[in-house]
Amino acid sequence: MAKIIPFKAVRPTRDKVSLVAARSYQTYTQEERESRMGYNPFSFLHIINPGYRYQKDISGKDRYTLVRNRYSEFKEDAIFIQDKTPSYYVYKIVNREGHAFSGIIAAASSEDYEKDIIKKHEDTIEYRENVFKDYLKTVGFNAEPVLLTYPNNTVIANIISDVQKDRAEFEFTTTYRDTHYLWKLDDLELINTIGNEFEKIGTLYIADGHHRSASSYLLSKDLQSENDTHTGNEPYNFFMSYLIPESDLRIHEFNRLVKDLNGLTKEAFLIQLDTMYRIENRGNELYKPSGKHHFSMYLDGEFYSLYLRKSNHKFSNALEALDTHILYKTILDPILGISDVRNDTRIDYSYGKNDLVAIKSKVDHGEFKVGFGLVPITVEEMKAIANAGLTMPPKSTFIEPKLRSGVTIYEF
């Protein structure tokens, strides 16, 4: 039974939300960050990059304290105002391609994370977990929801649809041409109905935000140990999440680029590939793989299709049948010598619907020697990995939707 509760969000005022909302900090280059902060005093980037005011890079505990200070200033200046009643927040994103994502922003239970009611499919790095936990502990808020997905539910879907018939409290379009909408849902009867429906759902899946989930769980354990009157209902026992039905989730592939052939000539490399793959030269055609266990490869000015010889490769679990794992086990590790796909500097990752053009360009310009194209992983594969307690290789999925930071903030 999943425990999903309403909360009193801290939100920008309607007139400033489009100015406040920001992408994840890591997605900006330094030049982009400085440009946006220079021209927009309301950007959430001013909060999470507080050293900008002093033209100085600040890290660690000092940065965390300044983040908290900047956040307090935004509240003092009434840029942010906290809602007076616990609410769910119906949130809709329509991307530039016209695809709509609709779900509910709410607080999910750290205990559910511990009990594996909220399942993960991706490994986390302990150092990053603890760094972000310390950050959260100092700043006292979370401004970017974890993306959770759940099986399609007619009752929840109907409520979301009905709420969206009213005028949205927030409506703004980003420079990426994504349009965001938010409705506040504070009707007690509807809140109880939604909560009850989530209780009937046995499992939720983390689609995006594995480190944020893990850090929030660690924070809940820290604060619980420091609270002699702990009840389990304190805000630190929950973390902000955006819950969307599985049918709304969009998963894109992460393609691979490798800088060299591990000392092999092109001919020797192709001969080694031939053991595990049926290879067809596609020439200059921008060739995209068409199905599972099928890859495209760009090498020395030509595209190739690689079809796995299944007679030589048996699958005993969901992970072994995963294309990113197959590519690692049959090419990246044994032939190209890339055993640590997380940290090896010889490999890079890219995504996007026009990504084959980017792969071709990077190989043609000598940045990389070879590129591999994959088909996207499915929701069913992601769930099978999580249900089996397994984890995917890094950069196996690029998942939409991507939310903006600072639209709803969860305090604990």
Element (H, E) at 347: strand 347-350
Would you list the DSSP string of 134-151? HHHHHH-EE-S-EEEEE-
Task: Please check whether residue 5 is in contact with residue 88, taking contact to mean a CB–CB distance below 8 angstroms.
Answer: no
SS3 273: helix
User: CA-CA distance, 157 to 233, in Å (whole number)?
Assistant: 27
Please report, for the chain, the start and end positions of each structural domain, with discontinuous segments joined by +: 4-251+400-411, 254-375
SS3 210: helix
**If you count them, how many residues does the chain have?**
412
The pLDDT value given to residue 381: 95
Q: Which of 64, 377, 3, 390 is nearest to 215 (CA)?
A: 64
Task: Please check whether residue 338 is in contact with residue 258, taking contact to mean a CB–CB distance below 8 angstroms.
Answer: yes
Show Cβ contacts of residue 208 under 8 Å, excluding neighbours closer than 6 positions.
146, 147, 399, 402
The pLDDT value given to residue 353: 61
Task: Please check whether residue 297 is in contact with residue 356, taking contact to mean a CB–CB distance below 8 angstroms.
Answer: no
Would you list the DSSP string of 98-131? S-EEEEEEEEEEHHHHHTTSEE--B---HHHHHH
User: CA-CA distance, 271 to 398, in Å (whole number)?
Assistant: 32
The pLDDT value given to residue 154: 98
SS3 324: helix
Task: Please check whether residue 204 is in contact with residue 115, taking contact to mean a CB–CB distance below 8 angstroms.
Answer: no
Q: What kind of fold does domain 254-375 have according to CATH? A: 3.30.1760
The tens-digit pLDDT sequence of the chain (412 residues) is: 899 999 999 999 999 999 999 998 888 888 898 899 999 999 999 999 998 888 888 889 999 999 999 999 999 999 999 999 999 999 999 998 899 999 999 999 999 999 999 999 988 878 889 999 999 999 999 999 999 999 999 999 999 999 999 999 999 999 889 999 999 999 999 999 999 999 999 899 999 999 999 999 999 999 999 999 999 999 999 999 999 999 999 998 889 999 999 999 999 999 999 999 999 999 998 999 989 999 999 999 999 999 999 777 788 999 999 999 999 999 999 999 999 987 899 999 988 666 889 999 999 999 999 999 999 999 999 999 999 999 998 888 889 998 999 999 999 9
SS3 269: helix
The pLDDT value given to residue 343: 81
Task: Please check whether residue 9 is in contact with residue 82, taking contact to mean a CB–CB distance below 8 angstroms.
Answer: yes
- Assign 3-class secondary structure to 25-92: HHHCCHHHHHHHHHHCCCCCHHHHCHHHHHCCCCCHHHHHHHHHHHHHHHHHCCCEEECCCCEEEEEE
154 by Cβ neighbours in 10 Å (0-12 / 13-18 / 19+) ranks as: exposed
- Assign 3-class secondary structure to 275-294: CCEEEEEEECCCCCCCCCCE
First and final CA of the chain: distance in angstroms? 23
